[in-house]
């Protein structure tokens, strides 16, 4: 226990409960970030309370059923059976947890500015019942200064005179999830942690050290927030680079996938990024806009980042233009053509549709009069989306008869579950945006890349 913690009685008491693993960990937001965190903390011997405003999620968890593919139902049933997880939609119970980890969505609004309504409403819910000795950690991806300038004032305003750093404590630790990657679990990914003050940092680091392989302490919440933005903007910019080169090399008859594979044989100074039909997931398509918005508030322009955003945002229209050219080669217009989107999830082998470029592809195809279907073994029915009028469709089985009935199969997500040999054998045309058919030898004259 550090001298700073020892000098604050409430911090000292919480530190002891954390080290003894008797502290109750509350996870707010039981989605793709929250459930893996519960796995990490229950495995480490902590009892968790899971909070979510969606009653369907709560009922599913209580029944031992998972709604996220890479979290097994058996694991959830075991948490419930051992009483190490108690799911609830009752936010008046937020004071029962010693540490509260906020894992709620942080989307963009219609004008592409940060939408912190879920962070703010969660902060208000905590503030109503905040008690002495609690630690509050924001994990939601956001822009630097959010914890100090948005969350802290809400908590402090309703804290009934309780002071942060003395009676309660606050920190930021960005979520680092890679859904569908079996090499990295929540417990196995190093955790960056920054507190509002030294005592808060000590407590937050101590908590995560109990459950996470490595904790990286930084000087404050702003550095931790900026770290997350940098990680994802780095990926967005490099993906934009290969997407732009893809357009150029396509025109020159050069295969961008072969180029990247050749370049990555260099053992230094190069990291491989791959093109695609657009960006997906909660972080990479969104974080650069957070940074651009923050820069504008500081009177600056992030031209490099904004250009990358423009390149990536243009990819769905580029894919549709390639599809149009491909259909024209066989004398067919897009209007009236039967197009099946293969893959709705934003990345391979996951059931997460957030910000998936497949929805923009579907929108553009429907706008042009195509007859659109989709197939995704991980998403049996199209979910409602914030920015799209999603048709009522269910996933189609990729039978030989169905594939033969199409005019074109458009591979938007390269799920391992797809039988690419079968697809190429029976679909009249295949537009491959993920290089998924690279190992298929026969029928290559009916495949185009985009």
Note the pLDDT of residue 409: 98
The CATH homologous superfamily of the domain defined by 236-449: NAD(P)-binding Rossmann-like Domain (3.40.50.720)
Q: Which residues are catalytic?
A: 283
Task: Enumerate the H helices of 130-197 as residue ranges.
Answer: 146, 152-157
User: By C-alpha distance, which of 206, 178, 362 is closest to 277?
Assistant: 362
Q: How many beta carbons lie within 10 A of that of residue 128, not counting itself?
A: 12
Cα–Cα distance between 247 and 225 in angstroms, integer? 34
Q: How many beta carbons lie within 10 A of that of residue 303, not counting itself?
A: 10
Are both 3-219 and 236-449 of the same fold?
Answer: yes
**0.85 cut: is pTM over it?**
yes
Residue written as token pair 């002071």: 163
Contact 96, 87 (CB under 8 A): no
Phi, psi angle pair for 25, to nearest 5°: -100, 120
Q: What ranges do the domains of the chain cover?
A: 3-219, 236-449
Per-residue pLDDT tens digits of the chain, which is 450 residues long? 787 787 788 999 999 999 999 999 999 999 999 999 999 999 999 999 999 999 999 999 999 999 998 899 999 999 999 999 999 999 999 999 999 999 999 987 776 778 899 999 999 999 999 999 999 999 999 999 999 999 999 999 876 778 899 999 999 999 988 777 777 777 889 999 999 999 999 999 999 999 999 999 999 999 999 999 999 889 999 999 999 999 999 999 999 999 999 999 999 999 999 999 988 766 666 777 787 888 888 898 888 888 888 899 999 999 999 999 999 999 999 999 999 999 999 999 999 898 899 999 999 999 999 999 999 999 999 988 877 888 999 999 999 999 999 999 999 999 999 999 999 999 999 999 999 999 999 999 999 999
Architecture, CATH, for domain 3-219: 3-Layer(aba) Sandwich (3.40)
């Amino acid at each position: 226990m550090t001298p700073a913690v020892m000098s604050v009685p409430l911090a000292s008491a919480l530190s002891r409960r954390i080290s003894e693993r008797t502290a109750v960990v509350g996870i707010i937001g039981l989605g793709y970030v929250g459930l893996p965190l519960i796995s990490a903390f229950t495995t480490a011997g902590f009892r968790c309370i899971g909070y979510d405003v969606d009653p369907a999620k709560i009922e599913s968890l209580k029944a031992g059923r998972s709604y996220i593919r890479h979290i097994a139902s058996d694991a959830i049933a075991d948490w419930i059976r051992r009483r190490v997880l108690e799911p609830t939609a009752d936010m008046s119970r937020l004071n029962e947890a010693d540490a509260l980890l906020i894992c709620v969505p942080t989307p963009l609004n219609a004008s592409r500015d940060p939408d912190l309504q879920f962070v703010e409403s969660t902060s208000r819910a905590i503030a109503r019942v905040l008690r002495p000795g609690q630690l509050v950690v924001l994990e939601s991806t956001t822009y630097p200064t959010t914890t100090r300038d948005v969350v802290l004032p809400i908590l402090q305003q309703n804290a009934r005179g309780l002071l942060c750093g003395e009676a309660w404590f606050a920190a930021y630790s960005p979520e680092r999830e890679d859904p569908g990657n079996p090499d990295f679990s929540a417990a196995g990914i190093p955790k960056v942690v920054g507190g509002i003050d030294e005592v808060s940092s000590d407590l937050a680091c101590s908590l995560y050290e109990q459950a996470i392989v490595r904790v990286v302490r930084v000087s404050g919440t702003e550095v931790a927030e900026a770290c997350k933005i940098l990680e994802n903007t780095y990926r967005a910019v490099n993906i934009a680079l290969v997407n732009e080169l893809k357009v150029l090399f396509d025109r020159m008859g050069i295969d961008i996938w072969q180029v990247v594979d050749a370049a990555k044989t260099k053992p230094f100074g190069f990291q491989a990024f791959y093109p695609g039909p657009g960006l997906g997931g909660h972080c990479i398509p969104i974080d650069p806009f957070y940074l651009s918005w923050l820069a504008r508030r500081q009177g600056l322009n992030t031209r490099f980042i904004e250009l990358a955003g423009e390149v990536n945002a243009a990819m769905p229209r580029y894919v549709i233009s390639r599809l149009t050219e491909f259909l024209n080669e066989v004398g067919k217009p897009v209007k009236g053509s039967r197009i099946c989107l293969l893959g709705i999830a934003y990345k391979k082998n996951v059931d997460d549709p957030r910000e998936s470029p497949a929805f923009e592809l579907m929108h553009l195809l429907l706008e042009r009069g195509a007859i659109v279907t989709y197939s995704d073994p991980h998403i049996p029915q199209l979910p409602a989306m914030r920015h799209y009028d999603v048709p009522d469709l269910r996933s189609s089985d990729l039978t030989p008869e169905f594939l033969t009935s199409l005019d074109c199969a458009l591979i938007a997500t390269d799920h391992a579950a797809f039988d690419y040999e079968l697809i190429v054998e029976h679909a009249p045309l295949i537009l491959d945006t993920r290089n998924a058919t690279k190992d298929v030898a026969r029928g290559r004259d009916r495949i185009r890349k985009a």
